[in-house]
């Protein structure tokens, strides 16, 4: 705790140093709750931290899976906040999903003075994209935590876990203020989930850890993990070349926004929060309800035969577009779709890529889509029910 507060400078340290504002930028994807997290952080300042504060979010269509940014500013309580533009040079950058790390826009305005909090996969140390930034000296100090795992285990959501981590990195000495703001906000809206959310926040506060300091930028860490300077230099050269094509001022008219969830070829898997629908083909009656309910083009129907009749038959799911909302599980009348924990199902044997997109296979390779459908879940259910397998 002391180590973290000391390294980041924190909220009080920054304001006492004479800097006008302590600014936070949240980088997230619709569905992870960053908007609410930003609101709670903003309210927290005025109500419980004895500072003045403001917050707002920026998002597009509000569709799950599309980019969301949150901006929070703190200053001394006597000062009036008269700036209302996005946080350009954050003191603290908070990245809610690892898929965002490869997006250059996420890192804009960061410097050696910026602290960063990222989410980690279980047992992960430093993701490659982070090592590159550290190697380059583009960010100062980095912290990480297994936010999704904590959220699932505590039955809370990623936003409260990240809220706990932010409070710690800001150098807030106790969780009391955080708990209070949770009660004020979530206690009213979701009273049944308050206990779980408080637990998620507590674990975020306690489990966020230092991944690197300013004094250890990348080279040692990179070498240890098998990333050498040549690889990084090549990646940087490739990024520069791409910049020449895709800069905002020289993009061709009619250009597209290639970020998550923005186009039909966008990978929506980063929106999933640990759960996916599993398809039990043996139970499916091909009613098509899942297909008409799914907000994205996940289900793949093709001409086939069912009970001796020619009809459109459910071939399986294209998990590339599945954002994990689980509406299909709710609607299936015969439990042919069931909720599964994503990390427990690494097999892809029934994965059916969307036929219309097959002429662009590069997108699948780059995204590393982790879709699959398994009949194993069916067998497991049968075993649990004591039936024959």
29 versus 317: smaller Cβ distance to ligand SF4: 317
Closest CA to 74 of 33, 16, 29: 16
User: CA-to-CA distance for 14 and 96, rounded, in angstroms?
Assistant: 23
* Angle, CA 65 vertex, CA 377 and CA 138 arms, to 5°: 115
- Interaction of residue 158 with ligand SF4, rule CB under 6 A: no
User: CA-to-CA distance for 356 and 109, rounded, in angstroms?
Assistant: 38
Least distance (Å) between residue 199 CB and ligand SF4: 26
178 versus 261: smaller Cβ distance to ligand SF4: 261
Q: Which stretch binds ligand SF4 (CB under 6 A): 18-26, 83-91, 140-148, 331-339?
A: 331-339
157 versus 202: smaller Cβ distance to ligand SF4: 157
Candidates 284, 338, 352, 373; binder of ligand SF4 (CB under 6 A) is 284
154 versus 354: smaller Cβ distance to ligand SF4: 354
Q: Which stretch binds ligand SF4 (CB under 6 A): 27-35, 43-51, 324-332, 355-363?
A: 324-332
Secondary structure string (H, E, C) spanning the chain? CHHHHHHHCHHHHHHHCCCCCEEEEEEEECCCCHHHHHHHHHHHHHHHCCEEEEEEEEECCCCCCCEEEEEEEEEECCCCCCCCCCCCCCCEEEECCHHHHHCHHHHCCCCCCCEEEEECCCCCCCCHHHHHHHHHCCCCEEEEECHHHHHHHHCCCHHHHHHHHHHHHCCCCCCHHHHHHHHHHHHHHCHHHHHHHHHHHHHHHHHCEEEECCCCCCHHHHHHCCCCHHHHHHHHHHHHHHHHHHCCCCCCCCCCCCCCCCCCCCCCHHHCCCEEEEECHHHCCCCCHHHHHCCCCCEEEEEEEECCEEEEEEEEECCCCCCCCCHHHHHCCCCCEEEEEHHHCCCCCCCCCCHHHCCCHHHHHHHCCCCCCCCHHHHHHHHHHCCCC
- Interaction of residue 353 with ligand SF4, rule CB under 6 A: no
Q: Which stretch binds ligand SF4 (CB under 6 A): 165-173, 238-246, 287-295, 340-348?
A: 287-295
Q: Which stretch binds ligand SF4 (CB under 6 A): 162-170, 229-237, 285-293, 343-351?
A: 285-293
Please count the residues of this chain forming the interface with ligand SF4, following the rule CB under 6 A.
25
- Interaction of residue 290 with ligand SF4, rule CB under 6 A: yes
Q: Which stretch binds ligand SF4 (CB under 6 A): 109-117, 118-126, 139-147, 334-342?
A: 334-342
User: CA-to-CA distance for 94 and 90, rounded, in angstroms?
Assistant: 10
Residues in 102-121 at the binding interface with ligand SF4, rule: CB under 6 A: none
Place of tokens 């294209």: 318
Candidates 334, 347, 360, 361; binder of ligand SF4 (CB under 6 A) is 334
- Interaction of residue 294 with ligand SF4, rule CB under 6 A: yes
314 versus 374: smaller Cβ distance to ligand SF4: 314
- Interaction of residue 338 with ligand SF4, rule CB under 6 A: no
Candidates 27, 132, 296, 342; binder of ligand SF4 (CB under 6 A) is 296
Least distance (Å) between residue 292 CB and ligand SF4: 9
Least distance (Å) between residue 190 CB and ligand SF4: 21
Q: Which stretch binds ligand SF4 (CB under 6 A): 45-53, 192-200, 248-256, 280-288?
A: 280-288
Candidates 25, 39, 203, 323; binder of ligand SF4 (CB under 6 A) is 323
Least distance (Å) between residue 15 CB and ligand SF4: 43
Least distance (Å) between residue 329 CB and ligand SF4: 7
Task: Tell me how crowded residue 6 is: count the other CB atoms within 10 A of its CB.
Answer: 11
83 versus 285: smaller Cβ distance to ligand SF4: 285
List interacting residues with ligand SF4 (CB under 6 A).
277, 284-290, 293-294, 296, 298, 314, 317, 322-328, 332, 334, 336-337
């Amino acid at each position: 705790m002391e180590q973290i507060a000391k390294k980041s400078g924190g909220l009080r340290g920054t304001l006492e140093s004479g800097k006008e504002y302590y600014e936070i930028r949240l980088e997230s994807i619709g569905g992870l709750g960053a908007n609410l997290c930003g609101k709670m952080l903003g309210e927290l300042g005025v109500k419980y931290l004895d500072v003045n504060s403001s917050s707002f979010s920026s998002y597009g269509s509000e569709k799950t899976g599309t980019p969301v940014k949150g901006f929070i500013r703190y200053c001394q309580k006597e000062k009036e906040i008269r700036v209302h533009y996005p946080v350009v040079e954050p003191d603290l950058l908070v990245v809610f999903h690892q898929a965002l790390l490869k997006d250059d826009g996420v890192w804009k305005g960061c410097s050696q003075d910026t602290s960063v909090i990222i989410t980690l996969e279980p047992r992960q140390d430093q993701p490659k994209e982070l090592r590159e930034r550290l190697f380059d000296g583009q960010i100062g100090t980095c912290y990480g935590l297994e936010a999704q795992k904590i959220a699932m285990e505590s039955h809370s959501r990623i936003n409260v876990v990240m809220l706990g981590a932010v409070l710690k990195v800001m150098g807030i000495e106790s969780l009391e203020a955080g708990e209070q703001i949770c009660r004020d906000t979530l206690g009213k809206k979701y009273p049944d989930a308050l206990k779980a959310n408080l637990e998620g926040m507590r674990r975020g506060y306690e489990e966020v850890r230092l991944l690197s300091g300013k004094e250890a930028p990348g080279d040692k860490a990179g070498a240890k993990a098998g990333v050498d300077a040549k690889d990084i230099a090549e990646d940087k050269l490739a990024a520069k070349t791409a910049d020449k094509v895709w800069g905002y001022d020289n993009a061709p008219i009619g250009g597209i926004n290639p970020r998550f969830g923005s186009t039909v070829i966008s990978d929506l898997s980063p929106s999933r929060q640990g759960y996916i629908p599993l398809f039990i083909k043996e139970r499916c009656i091909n009613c098509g309800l899942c297909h008409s309910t799914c907000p994205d083009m996940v289900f793949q129907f093709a001409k086939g035969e069912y009970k001796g009749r020619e009809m459109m038959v459910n071939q399986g799911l294209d998990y590339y577009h599945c954002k994990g909302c689980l509406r299909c599980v709710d609607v299936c009348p015969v439990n042919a779709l069931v909720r599964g924990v994503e990390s427990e199902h690494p097999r892809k044997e029934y994965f059916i890529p969307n036929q219309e997109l097959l002429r662009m296979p590069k997108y699948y390779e780059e995204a590393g889509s982790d879709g699959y459908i398994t009949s194993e879940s069916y067998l497991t259910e049968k075993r649990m029910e004591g039936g024959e397998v």
